[in-house]
Amino acid sequence: MLEELKQRVYEANMLLPRHGLVTFTWGNASEVDRESGLLVIKPSGVEYERLTPEDMVVVDLKGKKVEGKYNPSSDTATHVVLYNRFPEIGGIVHTHSSWATSWAQAGRDIPCYGTTHADYLYGDVPCVRNLTKDEIEEDYEGNTGVLIANEFAVREKDYIATPAVLCKNHGPFTWGKNAMEATHNAVVLEEVAKMAARCEMLNPRNERAPQTLQDKHYYRKHGANATYGQK
Amino acid sequence: MLEELKQRVYEANMLLPRHGLVTFTWGNASEVDRESGLLVIKPSGVEYERLTPEDMVVVDLKGKKVEGKYNPSSDTATHVVLYNRFPEIGGIVHTHSSWATSWAQAGRDIPCYGTTHADYLYGDVPCVRNLTKDEIEEDYEGNTGVLIANEFAVREKDYIATPAVLCKNHGPFTWGKNAMEATHNAVVLEEVAKMAARCEMLNPRNERAPQTLQDKHYYRKHGANATYGQK
Amino acid sequence: MLEELKQRVYEANMLLPRHGLVTFTWGNASEVDRESGLLVIKPSGVEYERLTPEDMVVVDLKGKKVEGKYNPSSDTATHVVLYNRFPEIGGIVHTHSSWATSWAQAGRDIPCYGTTHADYLYGDVPCVRNLTKDEIEEDYEGNTGVLIANEFAVREKDYIATPAVLCKNHGPFTWGKNAMEATHNAVVLEEVAKMAARCEMLNPRNERAPQTLQDKHYYRKHGANATYGQK
Amino acid sequence: MLEELKQRVYEANMLLPRHGLVTFTWGNASEVDRESGLLVIKPSGVEYERLTPEDMVVVDLKGKKVEGKYNPSSDTATHVVLYNRFPEIGGIVHTHSSWATSWAQAGRDIPCYGTTHADYLYGDVPCVRNLTKDEIEEDYEGNTGVLIANEFAVREKDYIATPAVLCKNHGPFTWGKNAMEATHNAVVLEEVAKMAARCEMLNPRNERAPQTLQDKHYYRKHGANATYGQK
């Protein structure tokens, strides 16, 4: 069932430790098949060295396990909510990568200080608030997804243009058109988080990159008038 | 004698440089066999590249060497005291890993700023005071163990829930149900120490993660109601 | 056409990820053949793992593509302007290397704090201002080159003695007598940027290295009286 | 001539890039043969990948080249002075390793904040002042050695107990009983420099480790009553 998708999700997961984004089992990647309404995700707590494509777990968009010998990732409910609320995305990645997590622990949005950021992430990367005690007790993982989607709605941010978020005192989620692009964005986010921290250290009153520069770089890579690469 | 245990302790020790926690010979792992009352520990000052399972040293719970061609680690007395005072633990690791040691040198507890910390270490990681001149002269390594155990008693901290400590101006000790888990916790502690330092840099007035979030993550992984992984 | 040059430019490009200066496709190296008035540059957005010498693109000094199956780097216009304005240089490198980019994002020149800097880069490394909205809209990449060259003219800086610049909120460019030397200078710049940031952290009121020491080191390696190496 | 010594000096030099202490050719190791009064040192500006034991250069204790196809390191005169002024040492290493150099660029001694430092380096690591214009013009490299030796004399520091120094706005020198021990101390110094910087970041009013703790660790590893290792 969904063998090709399992292979792709497996490969995206395996890139996470290779890019230095994941220690032990602290991360997971998933991809959804919009036609069948099923998503494939990493099993919970299984070591990367032991992982095989067959170990991937199939879950439906209500969060019910459909196939797999293992339990799905403990963050599955967050993925499910995001796939439902963000209909244009195809893949999601969660890590505890150290610079992005440091911003999350600091409870701060990552300001757009430069073109590396603007090339991939339109505007600041939002950091959502903590869940309340009631929200945690009711459905911690599901409500994490709800909180993320609501934050984008309230701030009127386009989730396609800004495919990343930080959860306060927790860590980052990124997404994209498939699991591989979500993984790519997780690498970008970590690099951007690192450089933003260091440039604040060098200039504590640092200001964001000018909006015209941000737009120039974002639209050089995205949209109808993109000129970057080999289209 | 205790060949399997020696093999396990050897493997745990060899993971320390592989995880980047140890430079030269600055670290040691041990594991105790509660039935025989014997512990196996790395020899003192032997390079990791030359180490073999047979080089491991057997010591009793009074700190007396029972078998081995080498002297045991210079920190053996600390391990012995901790095994006696913390009857539920099976393995101990000591390193000079750089972020955890930086906190130890700064003389500060590591506050719980996020879920990476809460997943493994309940509440702040304590930093114990310096030993006095008399305590150092009487029995430096043994009194280090006494100080650690007393600190957990005075603060009423559960050593099972918080399997890590910092010794002021020195470095970290971690423990677990065996040497491998203690090694695992040493990696966690280093990662947590790094991210806590960086998030303070990003937000000098940073506050701890809410207690409800800490509890959610800790009990998602530990205790009767744990849901993480493949039980 | 220009096969040897393509090979050299290919090799210089491949060194960028190997030295940790480039994530994904975020960098490019070029070299000019002054006789024919043609330059060879990396194609835009092609992954380093897939790159071959034949993929390199040939462009003339007006920025027109002369040969190659791919589009040239999106930064080609900047390279072209620099080759025209800096007639003594033969190679150019652009990266988003993390420490140099952090200084660029902070909008600051890198002060010369030590001999590592002085050995290669005479005086501070300038950070040029942002382009205006009009300059961006007219010709972003070309005007980036104009701004760099003008800055060296206005500051009366010798571009041979200081083969590096930062573009505000963007990143560094370095150059040299060929692509390999430009790559070498990109590594130097990153190392110098890292140490300058750290020494400000250690001493927030840090002052530049004395001019006599800067001169001693620069002229130990450069010019008629150089004594370093094996001439 | 001195083939075994050349081999040892070659091996010590090759460890410098392997330990991440040296970029390009920015470092050199030497060892002296006290009987013949000759020292062997790395050639100037030769890449580590191309280096062979035969490339090592033989110099006498007046700084005169005795054998070798290459010029000796540009820092040879500093090594020569140190061998003359510090009669008990057998090996010297100079690098631009990044944390130690950051302290040197900040013009600060490295305070002894912990046992990692105290295990190898007794008390603070001194940072010597800049040379004056006259001292630079007269004999830059030789006077660097004179300044180091004088600093130890003025501060009444034992160069055997503290085998490391920082030169302001330049970088570190370390030494030991042979080239390998000097290399070992260069690794220690870099690690100690890193952790000292980070612990000041965590606690800007940090104080030195208590003298009794420093003494305990130093004398656990050194002198007649040492207990560390396998003597």
Q: What pLDDT is attached to residue C225?
A: 83
User: Is it the case that residue D53 has pLDDT exceeding 80?
Assistant: yes
Q: What are the chain D neighbours of B23 within 8 Å (beta carbons)? A: 187-188, 191
C160: closest CA of chain A, how far (Å): 27
Two structure tokens written together for C34? 């002054």
Q: Are strands C27-33 and C91-95 parallel, antiparallel or unpaired?
A: antiparallel
Tell me chain A's radius of gyration from C-alpha atoms.
Answer: 17
Helices D76-85, D133-154: crossing angle, 10 deg rounding: 30
Q: Give the residue-averaged pLDDT of B29-42.
A: 98
User: pLDDT by residue (tens digit) across C74-119?
Assistant: 999 999 999 999 999 999 999 999 999 999 999 999 999 999 999 9
Q: Is D218 a catalytic residue?
A: no
Taking an 8 Å cut-off on Cβ atoms, the answer to whether B216 and A44 are in contact is no
Q: What is the pLDDT of residue B223?
A: 85
- pLDDT tens per residue across span C153-211: 999 999 999 999 999 999 999 999 999 999 999 999 999 999 999 999 999 999 999 99
Chains that touch A (3 or more CB pairs under 8 A): B, C
Of the partner residues B45, B133, B169, the one whose CB lies closest to the CB of residue D209: B169
Closest residue, chain C, to D26 (C-alpha)? C116
Q: Please count the other Cβ atoms lying within 10 Å of the Cβ belonging to residue A48.
A: 15
Per-residue tokens: A25: 């089992």
CB B100 within 8 Å of CB B191? no
pLDDT at C231 over 70: no
Residue with tokens 């622990």: A105
Please check whether residue A115 is in contact with residue C169, taking contact to mean a CB–CB distance below 8 angstroms: yes
Give me the half-sphere count of Cα atoms (radius 13 Å) on the Cβ side of residue C135: 13
For residues A213 and C167, the answer to whether their CB atoms sit within 8 Å is no
Are the Cβ atoms of A213 and C171 closer than 8 angstroms? no
pLDDT confidence of residue D228: 82
Beta bridge partners of A38: A33, A60
Tokens of A164: 């990343």
Give me the mean pLDDT over the B128-149 stretch: 98
Q: What is the pLDDT of residues A74-97, one digit of tens each?
A: 999 999 999 999 999 999 999 999
| Nearest Cα to Cα of residue B56 among B7, B128, B125 | B7
Helices (H), D107-205: 115-118, 133-154, 179-202
Superfamily of structural domain C3-221: Class II aldolase/adducin N-terminal domain (3.40.225.10)
Question: What residue has token string 């036609």?
Answer: A35
Of D115, D202, D228, nearest to B197 by CB-CB distance is D202
Interface of D with B (CB under 8 A): 113-116, 184, 187-188, 191, 194-196, 198-203, 206, 209-210, 212-213, 216, 220, 227-230
Local structure of B9: helix, strand or coil: helix
Overall residue count recorded for chain A in this entry: 231
| Residue B110 with chain A: CB contacts under 8 Å | none
The string of DSSP letters for chain C reads --HHHHHHHHHHHHHHHHTT--STT-EEEEEEETTTTEEEEPBTT--GGG--GGG-EEEETTS-EEE-SS-B-TTHHHHHHHHHH-TT--EEEEE--HHHHHHHHHT--B---SHHHHTTS-SPBPEEPPPPHHHHHHHHHHHHHHHHHHHHHHTT--TTTS-EEEETTTEEEEEESSHHHHHHHHHHHHHHHHHHHHHHHH-TT--PPPHHHHHHHHHHHSSTT--SS--
Whether C210 sits inside 8 A of D102 (CB atoms) is no
Q: What mean pLDDT comes out for the span C206-219?
A: 96
Q: Chains touching chain D at 3 or more Cβ pairs under 8 angstroms?
A: B, C
Distance from CA of A120 to the nearest CA of C (A): 12
Is the pLDDT at D86 greater than 80, yes or no?
Answer: yes
| A218 to A213, C147, D72: CA distances (angstroms) | 9, 21, 52
Interface with D, mutate which of B75, B169, B201, B203 (most D CBs under 10 A): B169
* Among A43, A105, A108, beta carbon nearest to B114: A105
CA-CA distances (angstroms) from residue C143 to B196, C174, C188, C222, D172?
42, 17, 26, 31, 42
Tokens of D194: 């890193």
SS3 content of chain B, % helix, strand, coil (to 5): 45, 15, 40
pLDDT of residue A231: 65
Which residues of A are less than 8 Å from C104 in CB distance? 114
- Which residue of C45, C70, C169 is in closest CB contact with A114? C169
The residue in chain B having the minimum alpha-carbon distance to the alpha carbon of residue D120 is B26
Can you list the alpha helix ranges (DSSP code H) found in chain A? 3-18, 76-85, 98-106, 115-118, 133-154, 179-202, 211-221
Are D98 and C199 inside 8 Å of each other by CB? Answer: no
Asked whether the predicted pLDDT for residue C216 surpasses 80, the reply is yes
Cα nearest neighbour of D204 on chain C: C202
Most A-contacting residue of C102, C190, C202 (CB-CB within 10 A), to test interface: C102
Task: Measure in Å the smallest separation between the Cα of C39 and chain A Cα atoms.
Answer: 19
Nearest to B106 among D115, D203, D212 (CB): D203
- Is there a contact between D213 and B108 if contact means CB atoms under 8 Å apart? no
pLDDT mean over C213-218: 94
Q: What angle do CA D220, D225, D229 make, to 5 degrees?
A: 50
DSSP of B91-135: EEEEE--HHHHHHHHHT--B---SHHHHTTS-SPBPEEPPPPHHH
Shortest CA gap C145–chain A (Å) = 15
The pLDDT-based confidence of D61 (bands split at 50, 70, 90) is: very high
Please write down the HEC assignment for all residues of D49-110: HHCCHHHCEEEECCCCEEECCCCECCCHHHHHHHHHHCCCCCEEEEECCHHHHHHHHHCCCE
Q: Which residues on A lie below 8 Å from C74 (Cβ)?
A: 220, 227-228
Question: Do the Cβ atoms of B131 and D201 come within 8 Å?
Answer: no
C230: chain D residues, CB-CB within 8 Å: 43-46, 70-71
Residue A57 near residue A211 (C-beta atoms within 8 A): no
C-chain residue closest to A198, CA distance: C102
Min CA distance, A45 vs chain B (Å)? 4
What element of type H or E holds B147? Answer: helix B133-154
Residues 6+ apart with CB under 8 A from A59: A38, A39, A40, A41, A65, A66, A72, A76, A80
CA distances to A119, A159, C139 from C70, rounded to whole Å, are 21, 31, 21
Query: Within a 10 A sphere around the Cβ of D145, how many other Cβ atoms?
Result: 24
Residues of A acting as catalytic residues: 119, 228
* Residues of chain D with a CB closer than 8 angstroms to some CB in chain C: 23-24, 26, 43-46, 70-71, 74, 96, 98-99, 101-108, 130-131, 133, 136-137, 140, 169-171, 197, 200-201
Query: Which residues from A are below 8 Å from B220, CB to CB?
Result: 74, 140
- Nearest Cα neighbor of D71 from D89, D56, D88, D52 is D56
Buried/exposed A86-108: b ≥16 CB within 10 Å, e otherwise:
beebbbbbbbbbbbbbbbbbbbb
- In the numeric block, which tokens belong to residue A31? 């991809």
Task: Give the model confidence (pLDDT) of D154-198 as tens digits.
Answer: 999 999 999 999 999 999 999 999 999 999 999 999 999 999 999
Question: Exactly one of D109, D119, D139, D140 is catalytic; which is it?
Answer: D119
Is pLDDT of D107 > 70? yes
Average pLDDT of B218-231?
Answer: 85
Percent of chain D with pLDDT over 70: 100
Please name the residues in contact with A92: beta carbons below 8 A apart, sequence gap of 6 or more: A29, A30, A31, A79, A82, A83, A173, A174, A175, A179, A182
Q: Scanning every residue of chain A, which has its alpha carbon at the shortest distance from the alpha carbon of B204?
A: A106
pLDDT score for A128: 98
Sign of dihedral through CA atoms A219, A102, C19, C109?
positive
**Residue A103 and residue B202: Cβ atoms within 8 Å?**
yes
Please give the distance of CA A59 from its chain centroid, rounded to a whole number.
18
Angle of the A98-106 helix axis to the A179-202 helix axis, nearest 10: 60
Separation of first and last alpha carbons in chain C: 33
- Closest Cβ opposite residue D199 in set B26, B106, B137: B106
pLDDT at residue B230 greater than cutoff 90: no
Q: Which chains touch B (3 or more CB pairs under 8 A)?
A: A, D
- C230–D70 C-beta distance less than 8 A: yes
What's the pLDDT band for A225 if we cut at 50, 70, 90? confident
Rg (CA), chain B: 17
User: Where on the phi/psi map is residue D146: left (φ > 0), alpha (ψ -120 to 50), or beta?
Assistant: alpha
Identify all chain C residues contacting D75, using CB atoms and an 8 Å cutoff. none
Facing residue for C202 by CB, picked from D103, D130, D171: D103
Domain boundaries, chain C: 3-221
Tell which residue, C190, C185, C193, C170, has the closest CA to residue C222.
C185
Identity of the amino acid at D55 = D
Q: Which position among B119, B139, B140, B219 bears the catalytic label? A: B119
pLDDT at site B228: 82
Count of CB contacts below 8 A, C vs D? 86
The set of residues, in sequence order, having a beta carbon less than 8 Å from that of B32 and lying 6+ positions away, is: B38, B39, B40, B61, B83, B89, B90, B91
Distance of CA D179 to the CA centre of its chain: 10
pLDDT at residue number D221 = 87
Q: Do D105 and C184 touch (CB under 8 A)?
A: no
ipTM computed for the complex: 0.96
Question: Do residue C74 and residue A116 have CB atoms under 8 angstroms apart?
Answer: no
Terminal-to-terminal C-alpha distance of chain B? 33
Q: How far is CA C20 from the centre of its chain?
A: 15
**Chain A: nearest CA to C44, how far in angstroms?**
5
